[in-house]
């Protein structure tokens, strides 16, 4: 299908979805508080924006997100690479990893609050945890998958030492897989932002919690849309960087 046609259809889909939503909300089939109409969202945005709450919440969440994301991604890539390259370390941590992996980040919320209090650090910690596992596994698989022939090439051309091998062959070779992990972490990170902040840590999640307790559902929807947009923007920016970094791929 032509790109222009498919873009037009995608836009049409969004409009259709919004119209259907508005129709259901206005029909009175369900109470207005259970399904707020989308046309109420712009007004909600203006109120929140004029009072400065919206900007403050976005800034707070963004800072939790960026700290957690960079910490989790850095540690995930580092530990994933180490485990994939170093057999002894891999064996030592294999069972521990299998034990910890199935525990979702939000299950750590009690500990996060005990360790860090209701604080920014607690939110960043939970986000970092989510992002860490995704990057850890993606990197591990990517590094394991690097073509052994290229490693041999390194040895054949005097680039077999650990540093040269790591930076000239292993990491560039694993880069596509590592970047996929980063991208997946980017999305999961936003989901954790909401969960972490619902417990009263200032940010989008907290504001959603406040609004829902007052049954101000149109404000809840406003922040849902905000998260979707923030995710969309971060994913778009990441894809721009990714396609530039991987321009050597066909």
Cβ of residue 172: shortest distance to other proteins, in angstroms?
A: 5
Cβ of residue 248: shortest distance to other proteins, in angstroms?
A: 5
Cβ of residue 241: shortest distance to other proteins, in angstroms?
A: 15
Nearer to other proteins, 178 or 220 (CB): 178
Nearer to other proteins, 44 or 174 (CB): 174
CA 119 to chain centre: 20
Nearer to other proteins, 154 or 187 (CB): 154
Enter the tokens of residue 237: 């920016």
In this structure, are residues 131 and 72 in contact, taking their beta carbons and an 8 Å threshold?
yes
Cβ of residue 153: shortest distance to other proteins, in angstroms?
A: 5
* Cβ burial 67-100 (10 Å sphere, 16+ → b, else e): bbbebbbebbbebbbebbbeeeeeeeeeeebeee
Nearer to other proteins, 14 or 163 (CB): 163
Interface residues toward other proteins, by CB under 8 A: 149-150, 152-153, 155-159, 164, 168-169, 172-173, 175, 247-250
Nearer to other proteins, 143 or 222 (CB): 143
CA distance 55 to 171: 38
CA distance 94 to 68: 24
Cβ of residue 142: shortest distance to other proteins, in angstroms?
A: 13
**Alpha helix ranges (H) inside the chain:** 3-27, 41-50, 53-85, 87-100, 109-116, 120-144, 148-156, 162-164, 171-197, 204-213, 217-245
């Amino acid at each position: 299908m032509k790109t222009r046609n498919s873009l037009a259809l995608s836009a049409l889909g969004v409009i259709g979805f919004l119209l259907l939503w508005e129709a259901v909300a206005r029909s009175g089939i369900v109470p207005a508080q259970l399904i707020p109409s989308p046309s109420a969202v712009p007004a909600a945005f203006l109120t929140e924006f004029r009072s400065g709450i919206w900007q403050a919440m976005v800034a707070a969440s963004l800072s939790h997100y960026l700290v957690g994301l960079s910490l989790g991604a850095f540690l995930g890539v580092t530990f994933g690479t180490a485990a994939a390259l170093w057999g002894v370390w891999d064996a030592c941590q294999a069972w521990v990893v299998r034990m910890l992996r199935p525990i979702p980040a939000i299950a750590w919320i009690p500990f996060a609050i005990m360790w860090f209090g209701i604080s920014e650090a607690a939110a960043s910690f939970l986000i970092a945890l989510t992002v860490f596992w995704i990057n850890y596994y993606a990197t591990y698989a990517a590094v394991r998958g690097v073509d052994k022939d290229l490693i041999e090439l390194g040895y054949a051309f005097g680039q077999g030492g650990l540093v040269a091998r790591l930076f000239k062959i292993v990491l560039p070779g694993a880069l596509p897989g590592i970047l996929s992990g980063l991208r997946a972490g980017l999305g999961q990170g936003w989901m954790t932002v909401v969960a972490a902040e619902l417990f009263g840590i200032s940010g989008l999640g907290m504001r959603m919690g406040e609004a829902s307790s007052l049954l101000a559902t149109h404000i809840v929807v406003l922040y849902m849309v905000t998260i979707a947009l923030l995710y969309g923007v971060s994913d778009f920016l990441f894809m721009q960087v990714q396609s530039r970094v991987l321009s050597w791929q066909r």
